[in-house]
């Protein structure tokens, strides 16, 4: 089996895909089991990729460890920025190829993959490239005969594990700040969607990164992930995924070398539509807030709480927006929702639709499979929902929204906060005081007012409660990948 495979797209065209592991700037066969990647549009095998066992993880970590100590920690900060900018340039050049592999592997619209995911990833590299030579500590006044200052120093080898729903963007959210701060990294992609990231590795070499600075492997969590999180030479783990897996990573990290941990986990985010909201605007943003990325987003606004006086009008407008979503082949330029990621997720979503119906929620729109081939599900709108239903409390991770009502803003806040999760939230109102009061009261890491699911590289993102801890993006994320060292100097001269 050779590294590069010719793979078939659902539109009849072909693309080239790497199938080996990547470390020390080389594509290397893995010792773990071969893993079939499945096209969720056709249910056919795209190709088989190599996976990493514990021996492969050791080799990748050793490459990162050696690169950090022998070369990367000595590279000038401005040069680190130039590497990141060069990588962004190459991604711009090859944006169609990257988007093609992501649409093939993940099932999301090619247009969305190109214009949102890859474009955002390019901007993320550029943002952190600009920060690379501006990472500074402080000087502190203590007593007249002492000098005190702090330094932000790289942690060393970072381990990262990323999910299948944003198979380039989530890795880049970790790669960019980790590298800008001076670390090396071993990143495990999801075994479900590795192809676009392996293409990115090819660009890492072309950009001139020293061997061992960026290493990308794939494999199953219980084999590859466990070996990475428990590795004694890894001193920081960054993870995006389920809360259940986050607990395992914390446990493994604690039992190995007490490595620093950053977790971005599940969510069941609430969107609150007040009586004075612009309902057309609220329907537009709230619809995108749940149905973007086929509902497969940790911050999806999957609970919508509507003031009882405007409920019927809002639901009407919301369903009008949902009807505009075109579900189909990701390579159709008019499609905005492709298939769900795989058969397991597909079945889970349909099961939750059945659970919601049995709990007394009413399907006001959608609720069915589309076609007989591919993992396509209609955008689904439940009404008559209350917060004790499973569909209102558990993360479905699909195109299913649950709409309930409230009488007062205080009641809406109470319902929204009655959740194990706290990743995001939204509020729609024409009163800025209400917007600020609700935003301050919601127990979540990101709140949107009169919009939803808008990201910027400068704005930190992370959760409360069982949605995890630590921040992606912005200046705060650089601190996640840094040690803060205090230096105190006793001055010889005593006046």
Residues annotated catalytic, as ranges: 264
Torsion sign over Cα 150, 155, 161, 167: positive
The Cα–Cα gap between 422 and 266 comes to: 9
- Scored b (16 or more CB within 10 A) or e, 37-52 reads bbbbbbeeebbebbbb
Place of tokens 């969720």: 40
414: number of Cβ within 10 Å:
13
- Residue 447 three-state SS: strand
Query: Residue 173 class from Cβ within 10 Å (0-12 exposed, 13-18 middle, 19+ buried)?
Result: buried
Q: To which H or E segment does residue 47 belong? A: strand 44-49
Query: Residue 7 class from Cβ within 10 Å (0-12 exposed, 13-18 middle, 19+ buried)?
Result: buried
Residue 203 tokens, joined = 């660009």
Torsion sign over Cα 360, 366, 372, 375: negative
CA distances from 217 to 161, 162, 188, 210, 233 (A): 10, 11, 5, 17, 16
Residue 392 tokens, joined = 């209102």
Place of tokens 């612009």: 278
Residue 167 tokens, joined = 């198979």
The Cα–Cα gap between 48 and 18 comes to: 10
Residue 70 tokens, joined = 């022998």
Place of tokens 């060393």: 156
The Cα–Cα gap between 102 and 94 comes to: 13
Residue 26 contacts residue 210 (beta carbons within 8 Å): no
Residues contacting residue 222 through CB under 8 Å, at least 6 positions apart: none
The Cα–Cα gap between 121 and 128 comes to: 11
Residue 236 contacts residue 208 (beta carbons within 8 Å): no
The Cα–Cα gap between 232 and 346 comes to: 37
The Cα–Cα gap between 96 and 58 comes to: 34
The Cα–Cα gap between 89 and 84 comes to: 9
């Amino acid at each position: 089996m050779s590294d590069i495979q010719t793979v078939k797209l659902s539109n009849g065209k072909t693309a080239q895909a790497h199938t080996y592991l990547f470390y020390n700037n080389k594509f290397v066969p893995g010792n773990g089991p071969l893993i079939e990647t499945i096209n969720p549009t056709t249910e056919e095998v795209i190709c088989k990729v190599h996976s990493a066992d514990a021996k492969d993880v050791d080799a990748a970590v050793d490459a990162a460890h050696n690169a950090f100590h022998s070369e990367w920690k000595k590279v000038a900060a401005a040069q680190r920025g130039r590497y990141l900018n060069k990588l962004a340039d190459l991604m711009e050049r090859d944006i169609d190829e990257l988007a093609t592999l992501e649409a093939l592997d993940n099932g999301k619209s090619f247009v969305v993959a190109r214009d949102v995911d890859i474009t955002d990833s390019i901007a993320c590299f550029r943002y952190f490239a600009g920060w690379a030579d501006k990472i500074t500590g402080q000087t502190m006044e203590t007593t007249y005969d002492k000098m005190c200052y702090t330094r932000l120093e790289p942690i060393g080898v970072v381990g990262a594990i990323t999910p299948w729903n944003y198979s380039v963007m989530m890795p880049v959210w970790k790669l960019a700040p980790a590298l800008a701060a001076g670390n090396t990294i071993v990143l495990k992609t999801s075994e479900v969607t590795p192809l676009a990231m392996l293409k990115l590795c090819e660009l890492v070499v072309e950009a001139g990164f020293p061997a061992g600075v960026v290493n990308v492997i794939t494999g199953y969590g219980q084999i590859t992930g466990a070996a990475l999180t428990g590795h004694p030479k890894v001193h920081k783990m960054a993870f995006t995924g389920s809360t259940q897996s986050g607990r395992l990573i914390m446990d493994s990290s604690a039992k190995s070398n007490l490595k620093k941990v950053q977790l971005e986990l599940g969510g069941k985010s609430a969107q609150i539509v007040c009586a004075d909201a612009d309902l057309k605007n609220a329907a537009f943003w709230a619809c995108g807030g749940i149905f973007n990325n086929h509902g497969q987003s940790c911050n999806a606004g999957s609970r919508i709480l509507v003031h009882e006086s405007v409920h019927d009008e809002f639901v009407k407008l919301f369903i009008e927006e949902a009807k505009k979503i075109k579900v189909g082949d990701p390579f159709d330029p008019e499609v905005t929702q492709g298939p769900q990621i795989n058969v397991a997720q597909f079945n889970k979503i349909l099961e939750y639709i059945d659970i919601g119906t049995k709990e007394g929620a009413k399907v006001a729109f959608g609720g069915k499979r589309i076609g007989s081939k591919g993992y396509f599900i209609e955008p689904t709108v439940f009404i008559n929902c209350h917060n004790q239903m499973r569909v209102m409390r558990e993360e479905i991770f699909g195109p299913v929204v649950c709409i309930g009502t409230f009488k007062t803003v205080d009641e809406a806040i109470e319902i929204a906060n009655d959740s194990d999760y706290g990743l995001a939230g939204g509020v729609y109102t024409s009163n800025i005081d209400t917007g600020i009061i609700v935003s301050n009261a919601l127990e979540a890491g990101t709140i949107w007012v009169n919009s939803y699911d808008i990201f910027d590289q400068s704005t930190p993102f992370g959760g409360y409660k069982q949605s995890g801890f630590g921040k992606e993006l912005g200046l705060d994320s650089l601190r996640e990948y840094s040690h803060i060292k205090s230096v105190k100097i006793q001055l010889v001269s005593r006046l």
